[in-house]
Amino acid sequence: MNEEHERLRKELPEYSKYGAKLDRAIELVLRGGIKEIRFLPSGRTVLTAVGRLGDEFMDPKRPYCSCSNFFFGFLEGKEGVCYHLLGYEVASRVKRVDAVQFSDEEYIPYVRAVIGDVFDVLEGGGG
Ligand SMILES: [Zn+2]
């Protein structure tokens, strides 16, 4: 765990209850893994987390994440927060959401690529 990681942990005492999940979330944030992709000129945005096994779609407002942890946790009625969604919360708080711009023509290929990753991970049983 590096200094920056320790510092973020101290800045966010209210998240300490998440334990190891918070550490994974902070790692994700520190390597720029929380991305807000804005497609132009339409202005629509997609939030993704670049996990170890591929990208995941997130919608923190619902909340929703395409990863298997969120999916199975949800089915079992557990807390609806995976380390990606937690990472998004952390990144928003410390202004570390990586803003990326793509053109609208890239929307479909991009979404298709992320969905491909999502299925690969789900079918491989990872997360
Ligand atoms: Zn997730």
- Give 95 Cα–ligand 1 centroid separation in angstroms: 20
What is residue 42's three-state secondary structure? coil
* pTM score, whole prediction: 0.88
Reading the block at residue 64, the tokens are 């929703």
Reading the block at residue 81, the tokens are 């927060």
Please give all residues whose CB falls under 5 A of ion ligand 1, grouped by chain where several chains appear: 65, 67, 70, 82, 84
Per the structure, the count of domains in the chain is: 1
Residue showing tokens 């410390």: 94
Predicted pLDDT of residue 79: 66
Beta bridge partners of 99: 36
Helix (H) or strand (E) holding 58: strand 55-59
- Give 72 Cα–ligand 1 centroid separation in angstroms: 11
Q: Which domain holds residue 67?
A: 3-124
Predicted pLDDT of residue 92: 96
Contact 48, 57 (CB under 8 A): yes
Predicted pLDDT of residue 25: 96
- Give 84 Cα–ligand 1 centroid separation in angstroms: 4
Per-residue pLDDT of the chain (127 residues; tens, 9 = 90+): 699 999 999 999 999 999 999 999 999 999 999 999 999 999 999 999 998 778 999 999 988 999 988 888 777 776 678 999 999 999 999 999 999 999 999 999 999 998 888 888 778 765 4
